[in-house]
Structure 1
């Protein structure tokens, strides 16, 4: 299983780095539209949509929404308002997961879960594209995405070595608090290396450390939220397109919550230069 995950992850990582560093934001947008379409198809299952044709319709609507938002919202104040709403939404999600157990597994259609797709998928995609446009944007975007990878690596090895206390046993039994601490430690070191690379001053480096650790915590919320939806639907993975990883949503779950927050705070960090 681990070997299969690695064999899938390596070409994906190489392709992602190449696209981020050497392609324009416009080209990247079309790549993200493909990811959005697949994620929309998978979300149809989470929402209880059984008809393949209707799942395709949802995927198309989400993809078109991202495209239109890129064209008409990305460079307007509306993006800021959208991000504020999204960050608030994730705070509410974290509270909900902390105080309320998942509902019993059901395959019934849910309008609410259908609508949640738009706030879970659209703002993060716009955030990634907006980061790519700013100064040194390709490298900032690479940092933001790789931050999730680094956190996963730290959590995996720390959890295997020291993991005892379950983080959220009702949602993801495999995650431990010790794994989370390992992820936070490794990402904090990673932020230090990034501060040197981006030549940040002391104040900027401090805030990058704070933002990095908060983004790591928020990324866990995205991971657990998708786990919650899968449990309530009675499924293990959102799809099977990525061998060893499951579906696209299984791979981008952490980014859905961390990307909007990171974009908001990155603007704050750069203004303190």
Structure 2
């Protein structure tokens, strides 16, 4: 299983990075939109709609919505995403008491849009920040978010295995610990300091970068917990079996769906 996960991960990495660095913004929006639509196909199952035609219909409606939203100001969708993730934090903290608020299947479908569409909008918005004279600025912003999420995940894995004692959310994800989360935050803090040193940032800007990095790191954990909450309610381990050894699309992008819109809101406010 581990070998399969490594092979699949290595196969996906150049696809993801190629999409970020090689595609113009219009085709990048299509590329990410296809991934989001596959995620929507999986989310329909998490919502309790297991029939194939229902899942395909939800994916098609989601993809059509992305087409309609393209070209709109990013602030609307990113603002909706930010409000949603603040709400999701409350739902995760109060689980399982919060279950009655989101158990209806239609409500879970709406939540799927609040999870997936702002993530697509955030990636397209960051990609559009490729300014003249700085060709890859937007691409590097996306890469930085990816590295933060991967770093938080890797740091949490090793720190949790070595020091994990205090459960983070035993009702949602028994394997996650506070020690693991803090290990992930420590690793991405070192990444942020490395970026600050390379960019020769002032102390003020370094502290700002660290603050954004910490928020994004914690929010990425929330994205993971939220999907765990829905999978637990649905009684399934993986969102699908599309990726051998990795489960489904949502299992790979759950942290990014939270991290991307929150990071994009910060960048929107800064710029």
Does the pair score TM above 0.5? yes
Runs (4+) off by over 4 Å: none
Post-superposition CA distance 1:141-192 (Å, at most 9, x none): 1111221111111011111111111111111111111110100000001111
* Counterpart selection for 1:84 from 55, 79, 88: 79
1:110 aligns with 2:105: yes
Aligned match of 2:179: 178
Aligned match of 1:10: 10
CA distance in structure 2 between the aligned counterparts of 1:202 and 1:239, rounded to whole angstroms: 45
Give runs of aligned pairs for residues 138-153 of structure 1, distance below 5 A: 138-153=139-154
Alpha-carbon offset, residue 28 of structure 1: 1.2
CA distance in structure 2 between the aligned counterparts of 1:212 and 1:103, rounded to whole angstroms: 29
CA distance in structure 2 between the aligned counterparts of 1:4 and 1:206, rounded to whole angstroms: 40
CA distance in structure 2 between the aligned counterparts of 1:220 and 1:210, rounded to whole angstroms: 16
Answer yes or no: is the 8 Å Cα contact 1:86–1:119 preserved in 2: yes
Aligned match of 1:254: 255
Unmatched segments (≥5 aa) in structure 2:
132-136
| SS of match in other structure, 2:70 | helix
Alpha-carbon offset, residue 203 of structure 1: 2.1
Q: Cα distance 1:94–1:109, how it changes in 2: closer, same or farther (>3 A)?
A: closer
Aligned match of 2:230: 229
CA distance in structure 2 between the aligned counterparts of 1:12 and 1:176, rounded to whole angstroms: 28
| SS of match in other structure, 1:185 | helix
CA distance in structure 2 between the aligned counterparts of 1:84 and 1:189, rounded to whole angstroms: 29
Give runs of aligned pairs for residues 13-28 of structure 1, distance below 5 A: 13-28=13-28
RMSD: 1.7
CA distance in structure 2 between the aligned counterparts of 1:132 and 1:44, rounded to whole angstroms: 28
- The alignment covers a number of residue pairs equal to 262
CA distance in structure 2 between the aligned counterparts of 1:131 and 1:220, rounded to whole angstroms: 21
Aligned match of 1:122: 117
Answer yes or no: is the 8 Å Cα contact 1:37–1:60 preserved in 2: yes
Length-normalised TM-score, structure 2:
0.91
| SS of match in other structure, 1:174 | strand
Alpha-carbon offset, residue 268 of structure 1: 3.8
Length-normalised TM-score, structure 1:
0.91
Answer yes or no: is the 8 Å Cα contact 2:220–2:258 preserved in 1: yes
CA distance in structure 1 between the aligned counterparts of 2:191 and 2:9, rounded to whole angstroms: 20
Q: Cα distance 1:268–1:199, how it changes in 2: closer, same or farther (>3 A)?
A: farther
Answer yes or no: is the 8 Å Cα contact 2:95–2:171 preserved in 1: no
Q: Cα distance 1:102–1:249, how it changes in 2: closer, same or farther (>3 A)?
A: farther
Post-superposition CA distance 1:34-69 (Å, at most 9, x none): 102211110110111122111101000101111221
1:194 aligns with 2:195: yes
CA distance in structure 2 between the aligned counterparts of 1:15 and 1:197, rounded to whole angstroms: 27
Alpha-carbon offset, residue 103 of structure 1: 7.6
